[in-house]
Amino acid sequence: MRSEAGKLAPMTSIAILGVTGRMGRALLHALAEQHDIRLTGALASPVSASLGQDVGELVGGQKTGIVVTSSVDEALANAEVAIDFTVHGAVRDHVAACVRNKRALVIGTTGLSEEALDLLRLAAADIPVLMSPNMSVGVNLLCRLAKIAAQTLGEEFDAEIVEMHHRHKLDAPSGTALRIGESVAQGRGIALADAGAFDRRGARQRGQIGFASLRGGDVVGEHTLVLAGNGESISLSHRATDRLTFARGALRAAQWLTGQPPGMYAMDDVIIDKSNT
């Protein structure tokens, strides 16, 4: 990546929290494509069999000199920004460590509780925090289109969101599906909490935003918003075939977040920033 003056952009130093998970390994693969991002720390759970192992060995590559640790402070020591794709229970400690060490935080963990969301909002007073259930540029564009479509068509068109993921995914609906639902609700000027139908029984009610979750195989992620009216319907879909899509987006977000003032950010902020090229 180069600046407008043609000079090499400064190197961004990152720590991966949850390096042994699906997204952690995808981030390691995506880093191999980057020349202006370097890994300086890698965190795994205290019971991980990979503790003490070089991160390069996790993905069948050459040694990097970065060893997997269970100490979040150690992982953050030389980083500017942390990328967190871990489990819900680890969020509190990771957020506290980022605030303590003054490190920016990109978090893609989904299904967070209100308590965890409150912690992130509080942390954003001290550090830049970027939270997104989906780091894909395409998905975030879909959400913007969903808001426009819902605003234009109104409740005359029934909104249904269908998503499918691999058999091991824990949360349902997915965080991305909920984000699409929130975009529809915003377009209609209502709250998703008032209109969401997550466990429908019987006939559909006017104004509902319906959700259906499918789980199976190794599906990375598929999301479709259907807006169905009388005599016509519109579908907006996104299909991810490789987790590297999310990993590349997360790395892009990490680069953008470094140097930003404290605050709460989203992938939309990254996408619409024309200077982020």
Give the max Cα distance, the chain. 62
Token pair, residue 61, equals 């590559």
Angstrom distance (rounded) from CA 38 to CA 79: 9
List the one residue out of 107, 203, 210, 101 whose CA is nearest residue 155.
Answer: 210
Task: Say which amino acid occupies 213.
Answer: S
Of the listed 94, 165, 223, 238, which one is catalytic? 165
Token pair, residue 194, equals 């008032």
Angstrom distance (rounded) from CA 250 to CA 246: 6
Using only C-alpha atoms, the chain has a radius of gyration, in whole angstroms, of: 20
According to DSSP, the β-strands at 37-43 and 68-69 are parallel
What are the counts of helices (DSSP H) followed by strands (DSSP E) for the chain? 10, 12
The gap from C-alpha 190 to its chain's centroid, in whole angstroms, comes to 24
Contact (Cβ atoms closer than 8 angstroms) between residue 84 and residue 108: yes
94 is catalytic: no
What 3-state DSSP class applies to 29?
Answer: helix
User: CA-CA-CA-CA torsion for 234, 236, 239, 243, nearest 10 degrees?
Assistant: -160
Contact (Cβ atoms closer than 8 angstroms) between residue 121 and residue 113: no
Of the listed 7, 29, 166, 169, which one is catalytic? 169
274 is catalytic: no
Contact (Cβ atoms closer than 8 angstroms) between residue 177 and residue 209: no
Residues with a catalytic annotation lie at 165, 169
